[in-house]
Amino acid sequence: MRKKLRKSFFCLLSTIIICLWLFSCDEHICKIYSNRSFEDIRSIAYNTKEAFCIVLVDSTQELSREYCLKNKKNIDVNKTIYNIVDINISSNEWYMKWLCPLSLPLTCVFSEEGTLIDLIPGATKETFLYTAKAISDKKITNYHYPNRFKLSKCTAISLLNQVLECKMDLDQGIYVPTVLSNPIDSLKYPYSFYWGIVGELMENDTVESKILARSMLELETPYYLQLFKNEFITAKKVLNPDFEINDEPSIRIDNDIVSLSDCKVGENVSFVIPIYNDGKYPLKISKIFTSCSCLSLIDHTKEFVVSPKDSVMVRFNFRSEESGEVTRDVFITSNSINRPILYVKILADIY
């Protein structure tokens, strides 16, 4: 009896030790992470001498969800480390600012030292095949990468690596101006100018920081203003120490959802969306887009201005050739500091 108890005790003790060992090694066993910082993943990769992939996904997007479902059976975690990051989490926003991708998901392949090797968009079979090739060869593939910079993938990656290097250095309090020279000249996007401003301010060079701030503001578009809101505010504060965000153009509408009821098939239904400017500077409406030919603008088809503390009535026409409940979208793009791309949902009940 005593022997049986002793044997059971040792079996239980062994089980506990094994479980504790497994849990303590979990960090090394796991090779698919989610929303870990770039520094954490780079450190793990460096210690294990493995390449790593940062996969940018949008948790609200169907294609990104598809990638997450496919990745477990399509990736080889014996050769690399994966970090799936949701761009809707604030700590991950910098990836979007750095890369400005045209679409998601996007797989970013890095060397163990943290150098960007390749950018592979999508969630197709080819996506995973080319990702595996980039990892095994440790060099860029010829998989297509349409980009906002209109540069070859090889050139874009080289310049983006320089921007990343500058960001990482500045995070450590180090600024080397020459690192940003090529990205500022060739990429011509706000992120490289912003880090130049940060660096020059750290060096107390107000003259150069103002030059960079002016150049950055010349790049302002609704898309960039939405993505780089805080960075543009920094640039404006460099040029104007008395800058007040509440004075900036600020768009407002009565409702983000417009409901159209009792619509008949083949009949025109007109409606109005008032656009208000709550700011102290003119609100410039660049363009109003509609998601369907059944929804069109009656007026204000070109760029127009809403004066400070004023409003403009924009008229639309809706006509459907099908019955049922439909949802359409309106996108209002402007220089508004609060919502440079404003989305309005149109709900229609047609019989």
Is 184 within the bounds of a domain?
yes
Is 107 within the bounds of a domain?
yes
- State whether 225 and 304 are in the same domain: no
Predicted local confidence at residue 71, as pLDDT: 65
Q: Which of 210, 243, 276 delimits the end of a domain?
A: 243
Predicted local confidence at residue 72, as pLDDT: 60
What is the average pLDDT value for the chain, to the nearest integer? 90
Is 7 within the bounds of a domain?
no
Predicted local confidence at residue 18, as pLDDT: 30
pLDDT digits (tens, 9 = 90+) for 160-208: 999 999 999 999 999 999 999 999 999 999 999 999 999 999 999 999 9
Is 23 within the bounds of a domain?
no
- State whether 173 and 257 are in the same domain: no
pLDDT bin (cut points 50, 70, 90) of residue 68 is: confident
- State whether 316 and 343 are in the same domain: yes
- State whether 221 and 258 are in the same domain: no
- State whether 121 and 161 are in the same domain: no
Q: Which of 243, 267, 295 delimits the end of a domain?
A: 243
What is the average per-residue pLDDT within 309-323?
97
For residue 81, the enclosing domain spans: 29-146
Is 201 within the bounds of a domain?
yes
d(C-alpha 323, C-alpha 264), whole Å: 8
Is 75 within the bounds of a domain?
yes
Least confident of 20-34, 97-111, 230-244, 279-293: 20-34
Q: How many domains does the chain have?
A: 3
- State whether 256 and 226 are in the same domain: no
- State whether 33 and 136 are in the same domain: yes
What is the average per-residue pLDDT within 1-7?
44
Is 318 within the bounds of a domain?
yes
Q: How much of the chain exceeds pLDDT 90, in percent?
A: 83
Predicted local confidence at residue 78, as pLDDT: 64
Domain containing 88 — which CATH number?
3.40.30.10
- State whether 34 and 124 are in the same domain: yes
Q: How much of the chain exceeds pLDDT 70, in percent?
A: 89
Predicted local confidence at residue 107, as pLDDT: 97
pLDDT digits (tens, 9 = 90+) for 7-55: 443 443 333 333 333 333 344 445 889 999 999 999 999 999 999 999 9
- State whether 99 and 208 are in the same domain: no
pLDDT digits (tens, 9 = 90+) for 77-112: 567 899 999 999 999 999 999 999 999 999 999 999
- State whether 344 and 255 are in the same domain: yes
What is the average per-residue pLDDT within 295-300?
97
Q: Which of 217, 243, 269 delimits the end of a domain?
A: 243
Domain containing 259 — which CATH number?
2.60.40.10
- State whether 131 and 98 are in the same domain: yes
Predicted local confidence at residue 63, as pLDDT: 78
Predicted local confidence at residue 31, as pLDDT: 86
Least confident of 65-69, 113-117, 123-127, 161-165: 65-69
- State whether 45 and 124 are in the same domain: yes
